[in-house]
Amino acid sequence: MSVTDTVGPPAGPASAVSAGVQTAAPPTRRSRGLNAGQRRKLRTGLLFISPWIIGVLVFIIYPVVYSIALSFTRYSGMEAPTWVGIQNYVTAFTDPLVGKAASNTLFYAIIAVPLGLIISLVLAIAMNQNVREVAWYRTIFYAPSLIPAFAMSFIFIVFLNPQFGVFNRVLNLFGGANVNLLGDPTGVKIAIILMAQLGAGNAALIFLAGLRNIPKTIYEAARVDGASPLRQFFSITFPLLSPVLLFNLITGISGSLQVFTEAFIVTNGTGDPDNGALFYMMYLYKNAFGFAELGYASALAVILFLVGLALALLVYWLSRRFVNYDVEAG
Amino acid sequence: MISRRSFLAGATAAGAALGLGACASSPASGPNVVSYWGLGAADKDKDDQVIAAFKKTDAGKNAEIYVDQVPSSGVADMSQIITAVRGGSAPDLWMMDRFNAVQNASIGLLESIDDLIEKYEDVSPEEFKSQWIQFSIDELSYEGKLYGLPTTTDARGLLYNEDVLKDAGVDLDLFDWKNHVITWDELSDACEKIVKIDKRGNYERFGFAPWLSEGWPYTWGFGLDAQAYDNAASTVTLDSPQWESVYQLYADWAEKYPYASVDAFFATYQPPNAPPSQTAMFSGHLGIDTTGPWQISANEKYAPKLPLKFTYLPVAREGDSTYTWSGGGSLVVPTGANMTKTLWEFMKFYAGLEGQSIVVPQFGNLPTNLKAITQKKYNPKAELFRTMLPNSTCRPPLPVGSAMWDALTSTKSSVALGSSTPGQAVKTNQARIGPKMELFEGFKMPDTYGKPSPVPGS
């Protein structure tokens, strides 16, 4: 049995467009057609959401536009910006540390994002079990996500300590010499990837909401047809969770491109050893606030924004092949 | 029931009250008011002592000094001060790492104090500046103007634990700075004797590694005549053979003592962010370390019974000149500050004989004020470092100082780890810093930079 056999074809974009065509009024008529009461309601509505509108304009749109403008200048944060054209972008593509920071970030994203999705999905399934103590389990599984990243970093520093840390104790049981994972360029990245997994509870909650949205009748029908739990997972749960998976994938990629706090604390802001934990955001931060090169840092931010946007669009485009909106379509 | 109009009016009034309340903590400016970003929360008592002493003077009796101990997220992180200056809430006076002066002056973050000298002093600027050791003035000078007054300074040397050395059978006379300057070969032999390895292959006791603690590229660079900037040609020279020899030192040592093993040793006995009492030296696991006079106060506080002593940095051959470098603090005036006579008097008091006499002995480091040096206003245990001062210098005062420091230190670990050769490291450094410095075409460091800084009576 497959999902499409039981719930039929999805209501795709085509049907939505056609529905819009049938009901849409000419735009000029719509804006002018409000009566006094509707206009008052519109004003009230706008007034209520005005903090959000102002917040987006002041704290998101303006900084983004300003940052794009700064990226074409040399600017220290103090004196007036000096126009340098695309010089900052040329420098970014020849700066050896940009390549290093980008490859570190890519390494992190390639491992941390899929690993995070798997762990959060497993957590969500565990949180969704029909047992009496489920509320306790949910609290326990979610609790690590409440620990601030900086506190988590210190916990990991102790956890990986060569003398006292649990990691080296286990290693010693097998006769191994003490190692300092945080002192190795690859080890420190792996440590930060593992650290990030303790925040999987947030994505797990979103998966849990998706899981609870899947009609039980589908599972009942599958059981009647003799489908095993594994078959049910791959033929029902996974396809119907795909919109949630897509959401978590895009937010996971976005988050991984901006990894900063853990690396900053673990390496005391240096990115060492051997720039092994110099992630893109950290290098950007160093340029902005350590070297007072806000123009160059803005160019790095614009490049990151474009890469993030391109990746999100790529994932969204690829998602057409695997995302199933049957549950949302009802 | 409350009307919508009343609700909106009430909400607006509450918002305005909150806003005004937030502004109310800023001190009002006036001719006797000085707002000051101090030494930091841990050293607040030292600031308080200087302020109390200043208020007892004629110049300070009416002064109102408001101190904020603003934490920094890194030595070179200027985000707080830039935000404060741009937001119009900057202090009038700021205790800053002297190394950042030229970079901060070059971006317009600091006010030159030349006008204050001209306005309030009866002597020429040159005569006024001669009250402090020359390298500390060089470090605060940008394009011929002075941007602050120096407070404390230091120097680099080797710290050793006599008990560890004796136990390992090392000849202690090699470390007696009054009679001998240790060579790299002698240091290497001593380290071989000190090292103890357990059955799992971990270092149980370790001698010395040049990349640890204050073993920065600059530290060894000054001993190997590695110049970061050619003043005559106004070019960065980080790819010189001398710089390559600095990195070769790291590579050679790492071949003998692998970086990963040394790192595991340190993470064991002196993990990152450990309290100052928890060091490999204090626990008797480390024989020799590169450090400075600031270590004296920690030694006295946390290991008063350990026989910890200092000596010069190692030289290549017997008879070679000794070398070191000095950093330290400074009082600077952020852009837009209220530049009053009271501010100037407080600055002079803090950086002068009186202020340095209060602060310096407590820190364990050294004064920059020549009178304070000659009157020995420092911990007597810092005498070795005091003798180093006339031949010491500061790091190159360049507008790209932070980036240069970052480049040099990050390639240090690359070479020690073996992921980069010394030749590649110096090329990377040059590629990173050369283009940045090209933006300051024709830049010149002070003519006195790198020359001896005479101390009367030395």
Any idea where the domains of chain B sit in the sequence?
A: 28-154+327-391
Contact (Cβ atoms closer than 8 angstroms) between residue B238 and residue B406? no
> In a 10 Å sphere around its CB, with 0-12 CB exposed, 13-18 middle and 19+ buried, how is residue B183 labelled?
middle
Q: Which residues contact A101 (CB under 8 A, 6 or more apart)?
A: A271, A275, A278, A279, A280, A282, A283
Q: What is the DSSP track for A127-187? A: HT---TTHHHHHHHHHGGGGS-HHHHHHHHHHHT-TTT-HHHHHHHHTTPPP--GGGSHHH
Rounded CA separation B242/B227 (Å): 8
Is residue A83 situated within a structural domain? Answer: no
Contact B432 A95 (CB under 8 A): yes
Answer yes or no: do A162 and B202 touch at CB < 8 A: yes
b/e code B349-381 from CB counts within 10 Å (16+ = b): bbbbbbbbbbbbbebbbbbbbbbbbeeebbbeb
Q: Do B409 and A162 touch (CB under 8 A)?
A: no
CB contact under 8 A, A163 and B82: no
* Ranges in chain A, pLDDT < 50: 1-29, 330
Amino acid at the residue B300: E
In a domain, A103, yes or no: yes
Question: Using CB atoms, which residue from A78, A163, A270 is nearest to B268?
Answer: A163
Chain B hits for A184, CB-CB cut-off 8 Å, are: 260, 263
Going by the DSSP 8-state scheme, the letter that residue B183 receives in this structure is B
* Closest chain B residue to the Cα of A84, Cα to Cα: B439
Q: Name the nearest CA neighbour of B86 among A298, A60, A292, A264.
A: A292
**Alpha helices, DSSP H, located in chain A:** 3-7, 13-23, 27-32, 36-56, 62-70, 87-94, 96-127, 134-142, 149-159, 166-173, 185-197, 201-213, 216-224, 229-232, 238-257, 261-266, 280-285, 294-322, 326-329
What kind and span of H or E run contains B142? strand B141-142
Cβ neighbour number for residue A308 with a 10 Å cutoff = 16
**Nearest by CB to B410, which of A77, A272, A292?**
A272
A128 within some domain: yes
Radius of gyration of chain A (CA): 25
Of the residues A291, A293, A294, the best mutation for testing chain B's interface (the one with the most B CB atoms within 10 Å of its CB) is A291
∠B291-B295-B296 over CA atoms, to 5°?
Answer: 130
| pLDDT over 70, % of chain B | 92
> b/e map of B247-256 (b: 16 or more CB within 10 Å)?
bbbbbebbee
Type of residue at A161: N
- The pLDDT tens digits for B154-165 are 999 999 999 999
User: Residue B209: phi, psi to the nearest 5?
Assistant: -140, 140
Q: Which of B150 and B410 is assigned the larger pLDDT?
A: B150
Who contacts B392 (Cβ-Cβ below 8 Å, separation ≥6)? B135, B155, B324, B325, B326, B453
Query: Which residues on chain A are in Cβ contact (under 8 Å) with B265?
Result: 162
Mean pLDDT of chain B: 91
Distance CA B135, CA A65 (A): 44
List CB contacts (< 8 A) between A74 and chain B.
439
Yes or no, beta carbons of B264 and A172 under 8 Å apart: no
For residue A215, the enclosing domain spans: 95-329
State the pLDDT confidence band at B50, using cuts at 50, 70 and 90.
Answer: very high
Residue A120 burial (CB count, 10 A): 26
Residue A210 belongs to a domain: yes
Which pair of tokens denotes residue B414? Answer: 């690359």
Residue recorded with tokens 């009647």: A224
Q: Considering only CB atoms, which residues of chain A are within 8 Å of chain B?
A: 74, 76-79, 91, 95-97, 154, 157, 161-163, 172, 175-180, 182-185, 266, 268-275, 278, 286, 288-293
A183·B200 Cβ contact <8 A:
no
Question: Considering only CB atoms, which chain A residues are within 8 Å of B432?
Answer: 95-97
Distance separating alpha carbons of residues B391 and A291, to the nearest angstrom:
30
Q: Do B420 and A274 touch (CB under 8 A)?
A: yes
Contact assessment for residue B279 and residue B144, using Cβ atoms and an 8 Å cutoff: no
B392 pLDDT exceeds 90?
A: yes
| Most confident segment among A20-29, A308-317, B10-19, B175-184 | B175-184
Tell me if A177 and B264 make a contact (CB, 8 A cut-off). yes
Distance in angstroms (rounded) separating the CA atoms of residues B329 and A265: 25
Instruction: Quote the pLDDT of residue A6.
Output: 38
Residue of B264, B406, B417 with shortest CB distance to A179: B264
d(CA B137, CA B357): 19
* The pairing of beta strand B196-197 with beta strand B203-205: antiparallel
Q: Coil, helix or strand for B88?
A: coil
One-letter amino acid of B151: T
The answer to whether the CB of B390 falls within 8 A of the CB of B458 is yes
What is the per-residue pLDDT for B79?
A: 83
Q: Do A292 and B74 touch (CB under 8 A)?
A: no
Number of structural domains in chain A? 1
Contact between residue A227 and residue A235 where contact means Cβ atoms under 8 Å apart:
yes
Q: Which residue of A has its CA nearest to B418?
A: A274
Contacts of A289 in chain B (CB under 8 A): 77-79, 82
The answer to whether residue B211 scores a pLDDT higher than 70 is yes
**Chain B residues with beta carbon closer than 8 angstroms to that of A153:** none
Q: Which of B279, B246, B254, B243 has the alpha carbon at shortest distance from B188?
A: B254
Which residue of A176, A266, A273 is in closest CB contact with B417? Answer: A273
Q: Tokens standing for A150?
A: 């900086």
Of B105, B109, B104, the C-alpha closest to B75 is B104
For tokens 């090699």, name the residue: B174
Q: How many residues belong to chain B?
A: 458
Token pair belonging to B385: 């470092």
pLDDT one-digit tens code per residue, B287-315 = 999 999 999 989 999 999 999 999 999 99
CATH of the domain at A166: 1.10.3720.10
Query: Which of B107, B419, B432 lies nearest to residue A96, judging by beta carbons?
Result: B432
**Minimum mean pLDDT among A5-19, A204-218, B226-240, B403-417: which range?**
A5-19
Q: Is residue A54 part of a domain?
A: no
Range in A6-20, A46-60, B188-202, B215-229 with the lowest mean pLDDT: A6-20
Measuring CA to CA, which residue among A69, A269, A291 is closest to residue B109? A291
- A273: cis peptide before it, omega within 30°? yes
ipTM: 0.77
Which of A73, A179, A180 best tests the B interface by mutation, with the highest count of B CBs <10 A?
A180
A290:B420 CB<8 A: no
Nearest Cβ partner for A180 among B201, B264, B435? B264
Tokens for B249, please give them. 């030192």
| Phi-psi map region of B457: left, alpha, beta (phi>0 left; psi -120 to 50 alpha) | left
Q: What's the pLDDT at B340?
A: 94
Burial A21-59 (b: 16+ CB within 10 A, else e): eeeeeeeeeeeeeeeeeeeeeeeeeeeeeeeeeeeeeee
Question: Looking at the predicted structure, is the pLDDT value of residue B70 above 60?
Answer: yes
CB within 8 Å: A275 and B200: no
Q: Identify which of A77, A91, A96 has the shortest CB distance to residue B428.
A: A96
CB spacing of A269 vs B273 below 8 angstroms: no
Shortest distance, CA B124 to any CA of chain A (angstroms): 30
Of B103, B264, B439, the CB nearest to A183: B264
Contacts of the segment B198-202: beta carbons below 8 A, 24+ positions apart: B200/A172, B200/A175, B200/A176, B200/A177, B200/A178, B201/A177, B201/B261, B202/A162, B202/A177, B202/A178, B202/B261, B202/B264, B202/B265, B202/B268
Give the three-state DSSP class for B208.
coil
Q: State mean pLDDT over B175-202.
A: 94
Q: What is the CATH number of domain B28-154+327-391?
A: 3.40.190.10
